[in-house]
Structure 1
Amino acid sequence: MDFNLDWLLGPDYSKPGNFLLIFSILFAGIFLRYLALAWGYHELVYKKLGDSLPFRRLHQQVRLPQVKKEIWYSFLGGLIFAFAGVVLLILWQSGLTQLYTQLSWWDTFWIPISYFLALFIHETYYYWLHRWMHQPKVLRHFHHIHHNSLYTSSFTSFSFHPIEAGLQAIFLPVLILVLPMHFFVLIALLITMSVTAVINHSGIEVYPEGAQSNSFFRWMVGATHHDQHHLKYRCNYGLYFTFWDVWMKTEDSGFAKRFDEHTREDGNVKVESSVNARM
C-alpha cells in the first residue's frame, strides 16, 4: 500500500518562496502545538487532578514571569525546529533519506522495531549530549537557560537556548539518512517527543505507586525522575528511559525514595514551595 504524499513533496522547497511558505506552516504548527499541549496539560492535569491519586504534585505552581520566559525560548526553539523540518523535507524530496511511504508485509515487524530502535538511538544521543551540556563551561554558555526553571512546569518542556534547540533539532534529519523509517514512524516519534517532554516537565507524577518495582515502568523517565535532574543538576540525564542513568550510575540515589513518598496512597507529602511561586 502506498500513501499519496505528492501534495507534501510536490513543491521545490529549496526555492526561497516555497521554503518560506513551508517554514511558516511548520513553525505555526510546532509552536501552537507546544502552547496547546503545555496549557492543556497544566490546566487539566496539574491544576484539576493534582490532588487526586494516582496523580501527585511535586511542587507548587510557578510564577507567570518564568512561564513568559519559557514561552519566549520555546518560540525561538520553534523557529529552529521548523527550519530542521524544512531541511528534512528537502532531504526526503531529494531522495537522500531512508524515509518511505509504501507498506509491505515486512512493515508488520519493521514499523514497531524501527520505532523502538529510533527511541533507543535518540535516548543514547540525548543522554551523552546532556551529560556534555552539564560540563561547567557548556552549562554556563547555553544549557543554563533550560535550568533557569528550577521548578518546572509543562511550559518548560521546550524552553531551550537556540544552540541547544539546534543540537536537538538535527537528530531526526540525520536519523532518516541512515535508518529506514516509514512516514508513520516519523509522526509517532514527533508525537512521543512532544508528549513525554510535557509530562516529564509538568511537576506532577503520573506513574502510580509501586511503579519502581515494575519491570517495565522502572525503566521509564517520569516527572519525579526529571524533576530531580532540575533540582540537583548532575543526575538523571535520561530523556525517555532510565537505563543509561542506571548503567552509568548517574541516577540519583534518593530517586526511588522520593518517588515512593509522592505516590503512596497513605502518604502525606508536603508539596515543595517553588522559589517562583504561583502562576
Structure 2
Amino acid sequence: MDFNLDWLLSTDYAQPKNFVVILTILLAGIFLRYLALAWIYHELVYKKLGEAMPYRRLHEQIRLPQVRTEIWYSFLGAIIFAFAGSLILIFWQRGISQLYTQLTWWDLLWIPASYFLSLFIHETYYYWLHRWMHQPKVIRHFHHIHHNSLYTSSFTSFSFHPIEGGLQAIFLPVLILVLPMHFLVMIALLITMSVTAVINHAGVEVYPSDALRSPFFRWMVGATHHDQHHLKYRCNYGLYFTFWDVWMKTEDAGFEKRFEAHTVSQPKKGELA
C-alpha cells in the first residue's frame, strides 16, 4: 500500500523561488498552528479546568506583556522550524532521507517501534542539550530567553531564542537521514512535539492524581514537573519523559509532593477531610 504523495515531489524545492514559497507556506502553518493550539488550550484547559478545579492551577494568570514577548519569539522560532521543514522536503525529494510512504506488513511492527525509538532518541538529545544550555557560561547567551517566562503559559511552549530554536529544529532533519521512518511517523512526531510542549507549559496540571503510581504516567513530563524547572532552573530537564532525570538524579526532590498538592482537592476550612 502506498500513500500518493507524488504531488509533494513534483516541485524542485531547492530552487530559490520555490524554496521561498514552501518556506512561507510552512511558516504560516507552523505559526498559526502554535497560536491556535496555545489559545485553545489556554481557554479550554487553563481557564475552564482551572475554574472547576482551582487547585490544579500552578500559578495565577500571566500578564499580557509576557504573552506578547512569547508570541514574538515563537514567530522567530517558527521561521527556524520552517527552514527545517523545507530541508526535510528537499532531503526527501533528493532521495537522501530515510522517509518512505509505502506500507508493508513489516510496518505493523516498525511504525510503532520507530515512533517510540524516535521519542527516546529525541529525549536523550534534548536532555543533554538542555543540561548543557544551563551551564552558567551558556544560559545567559540564549536559553535565558525561554526562562524569562518564570510563570509559564501555553504561549511559552515555543518561545525560544533563535539559536535555541535552531538547536531544537535540526533534530528531525538529521534523524530522517539515518532512521527509516514512515511519513505518518514523522507527522505523529510533529504532533507530539506540539501537544506535549503546550501541556507542559500551560500552568495547569492535567494528569490524574494517581499518575505517579502508574507504570506509564509516572514517566511522563507534565506541567508540574516542567514548572519546577522554570522555578528552580537546576532540575527536571526532561522533554517528554522523566527517566533521564530519575537516572541522573536531576529530578527535584519535592516534585511528588507538589504534584499531589495540585492534583488532590484539599478540604476547605470547616469541611471534613
Q: 1:58 & 1:113 partners in 2: Cα distance?
A: 35
User: Which residue in the other structure is 2:271 paired with?
Assistant: none
Q: CA deviation at 1:51?
A: 3.1
1:80 and 2:80 equivalent?
yes
Q: 2:221 & 2:113 partners in 1: Cα distance?
A: 20
Q: CA deviation at 1:173?
A: 0.2
User: Which residue in the other structure is 1:214 paired with?
Assistant: 214
Aligned length: 268
CA contact (8 A) 2:55 2:265 kept: no
Where 1:26 maps in the other structure, the secondary structure is helix
User: Which residue in the other structure is 1:245 paired with?
Assistant: 245
Q: Superposition pairs for residues 1-279 of structure 1, below 5 Å?
A: 1-53=1-53, 56-266=56-266
Offset from partner CA, 1:47-104 (integer Å, 9 cap, x none): 1111334981110010000000000000000000001110111111110011000000
Offset from partner CA, 1:211-244 (integer Å, 9 cap, x none): 1111211100000000000000000000000000
Offset from partner CA, 1:102-155 (integer Å, 9 cap, x none): 000000000000000000000000000000000011100000000000000000
Q: 1:28 & 1:180 partners in 2: Cα distance?
A: 28
Moved more, 209-218 or 169-178: 209-218
Where 2:115 maps in the other structure, the secondary structure is helix
In the alignment, residue 135 of structure 1 is paired with which amino acid? Q
The structure-2 alpha-carbon separation of the partners of 1:198 and 1:55, relative to structure 1 and needing over 3 Å to count, comes to farther
CA contact (8 A) 2:55 2:261 kept: no
Q: 2:125 & 2:226 partners in 1: Cα distance?
A: 17
Indicate the RMSD between aligned Cα atoms, in angstroms.
1.1
Q: 1:73 & 1:33 partners in 2: Cα distance?
A: 15
In the alignment, residue 71 of structure 2 is paired with which amino acid? I
In the alignment, residue 110 of structure 2 is paired with which amino acid? W
% same residue: 80
Q: CA deviation at 1:6?
A: 1.3
Q: 1:85 & 1:109 partners in 2: Cα distance?
A: 26
Q: 2:55 & 2:91 partners in 1: Cα distance?
A: 42
TM-score, normalised via structure 1 length: 0.94
CA contact (8 A) 2:2 2:101 kept: yes
Q: 1:267 & 1:164 partners in 2: Cα distance?
A: 43
Q: 1:51 & 1:131 partners in 2: Cα distance?
A: 35
TM-score, normalised via structure 2 length: 0.96
Q: Give every structure 1 segment of 4 or more consecutive aligned residues whose post-TM-superposition deviation is greater than 2 Å.
A: 51-55, 265-268
In the alignment, residue 143 of structure 1 is paired with which amino acid? H
The structure-2 alpha-carbon separation of the partners of 1:123 and 1:241, relative to structure 1 and needing over 3 Å to count, comes to same
Q: 1:267 & 1:41 partners in 2: Cα distance?
A: 28
Gaps of 5+ in 1: 269-279
Where 1:205 maps in the other structure, the secondary structure is coil
Gaps of 5+ in 2: 269-273
